[in-house]
Structure 1
Amino acid sequence: MITRLLVLIFGYAYPAFECFKSLEKNKVGVEELRFWCQYWILMAFLMVFERTGEVLISWFPMYGLMKVAMLVHLWYPKTKGTGYVYDTLFRPFMARHETEVDRKIQEIKARIWDFIFKYCQHFAVMGQGKFFEMLQYLANQSLKFKQANQNSGSNNDSPRIRTRPVQT
């Protein structure tokens, strides 16, 4: 729990605040913006890989503390690890696999849109069926109501049957 709090503070809150300050300065340098963009790109990919491989890596001793140390190394002003990790590891990897990643993303988007379309189509068919069931129910209730009114109205027009009082 403590390492999660440290990751939250040193991995997200502090870097987000520093990024905010960089953006809001009057004279923002391109290099400073580039640094923070690289940091957030690395953070996003680290989170994706951590979530997918969490079962394999989370059991390492002191994993949480190593993660905190790595995150601090990425943004710490004296080490500026983001530039090194981005330029030596991430950029070459992505340059080699960019077309494959783009193709996979397009496939996933197409699958998601197909799923959404089928789901909406199924929902519309079910909704239409339920709508017609509701209309049928209302029509039946209306018929019952009309028949009840007609029966009670015809009883009022007919002569009443008198009963004899019971003698005791």
Structure 2
Amino acid sequence: MRRAVLATSATVAGVSLLLALKPHHNGIAAASGQGASGGGGAVTVAPPVAPGSAGSGGSGGSTGSSGSSAPPKQGAKSGASGTYTGSVIDTRYGPVQVAVTVARGKLTGVKVLQTPSENGRDRRLAAMAVPQLTQEALAAGNARIDTVSGATYTSEGYINSLQSALDKARA
């Protein structure tokens, strides 16, 4: 009886501590570690990483710290129009690149030029994530969009390339 009471008390205390624990946010999405190959379609909140900082890191998951504490630039400059190609972002699963169409300073279109396509799984994840990312980018009008759970590296590459294209539109 005494063991049962101690075990129950220890379990309750442990669960209480876990529930009270607040996750630490360092400016990058808390990646699940599944990268571009995880499943599911849930969306996790992640601020965009500075263009080029994903370097060799990513088509999913956080790839080191970006060190960028400045908020990302918003959409294109007022009155800008045209098509701007973002940087190629090398991710763990392959390169990601987008081009944006801007009309009078507003984001009107996103075309995906490259996504990870090494194998069938990469292609399936990109096919699942890219439409969601594009829809969110067009709705937001900037690169401050959520990453797609299970395709974190691809999402971060997309966001970084999108931000680089929008930076070119602002220049």
Which structure shows the bigger proportion of residues in helix conformation? 1
Q: Which has the larger radius of gyration?
A: 1
Q: Same fold judged by TM-score > 0.5?
A: no
TM category (shorter chain) comes to: under 0.3
More strand, by proportion: 2
TM value normalised by structure 1: 0.22
Q: TM-score with structure 2 length normalisation?
A: 0.21
